[in-house]
Amino acid sequence: MRAHRVRALLMGGQACVFYGAAEFSRDTDFAILADAANLARLRKALAELSAEAIAVPPFELKFLRKGHAVHFRCRHPEAFRFRVDLMAKMRGVDSFDKLWQRRTTLQLPGGWKCDLLSLPDLVQAKKTQRDKDWPMIRRLVEADFFGNRGKASAARIRFWLQELRTPQLLIGVAQKNSRLARQLSAQRPLLRMALAGEIEKLDAALAGEESAEREKDRLYWLPLRKELEQLRHSGG
């Protein structure tokens, strides 16, 4: 991706590893800029990987812009059978231009750099109906909290109040930053329970929050899944 100047941001399980919440992943997920010039560069990168499109939908701008994921399997000897999944639009996630502005860039061994979704954007992207994503969200935010609690910026504290899913930690952060927690409670009402130290009510509210997000994701994917079924039946 770097060599061909593809505008792409690593997300999914491998991005979680970089943020300290290890997850075994058999594929590489990218958020990409869906325009003709970027897709031309992306096609060259995929050709170098001997990557072939698998399943549906086809690798076309119109499907990426609707929110579909496009899947590839690599045949290059150094990445044999490795899967690459591409998305340009996700539920509740900002446009690619905004994601790019907020990206995290890491220096890798050998001099390579890697662009990732920012941690808040990665957390938002993982609010799906999949069972495996919610424990990962919890681990991602916990890892950020334990790694930065001694030097937390105002923006980071706000992020923790908005996204922590561990009742005990959320109570601690809310009570230590009560003014901000009260302000944010208009957006996240369960912060009132955190401020009051009502751990059982907070635990139930967190479960309700997760359930509501899962349902939003299910409804978001209904028309997309229907379109995929139509493509499968028509042969793509």
pLDDT in tens, 141-165: 999 999 999 999 999 999 999 999 9
Residue 225 pLDDT: 96
Parent domain of 186: 133-220
Residue 181 CA to residue 189 CA, distance in Å, equals 10
> How are strands ordered across the β-sheet holding 27-32?
51-54, 70-74, 83-87, 27-32, 8-11, 113-116, 104-107
Mean pLDDT confidence for 36-40: 97
- Alpha helices by DSSP H, the chain: 12-18, 36-48, 61-66, 96-101, 119-125, 133-148, 154-163, 167-176, 178-184, 191-196, 199-234
Same-domain status, 181 and 85: no
Would you say residue 106 lies in a domain?
yes
With cut-offs at 50, 70 and 90, classify the pLDDT of residue 236.
Answer: low
Residue 122 CA to residue 213 CA, distance in Å, equals 15
Q: Which of 125, 156, 177 is the last residue of a domain?
A: 125
Residue 234 pLDDT: 86
Would you say residue 230 lies in a domain?
no
Residue 219 pLDDT: 97
User: For residue 182, what are the contacts with CB-CB under 8 A and spacing of at least 6?
Assistant: 191, 192, 195
Residue 117 CA to residue 14 CA, distance in Å, equals 11
What domain count does the chain have?
2
Calculate the average pLDDT of the chain: 95
Q: Which of 125, 156, 171 is the last residue of a domain?
A: 125
Same-domain status, 48 and 142: no
Residue 216 pLDDT: 97
pTM above 0.75, yes or no: yes
Would you say residue 232 lies in a domain?
no
- pLDDT over 70 at 232, yes or no: yes
Same-domain status, 95 and 174: no
* Residue 167, number of CB atoms within 10 A of its CB: 21
Give 151's DSSP letter: G
Q: Please answer whether residues 205 and 190 qualify as being in contact, where contact means their C-beta atoms are separated by less than 8 angstroms.
A: yes
3-state secondary structure of 188: coil
Residue 184 CA to residue 186 CA, distance in Å, equals 5
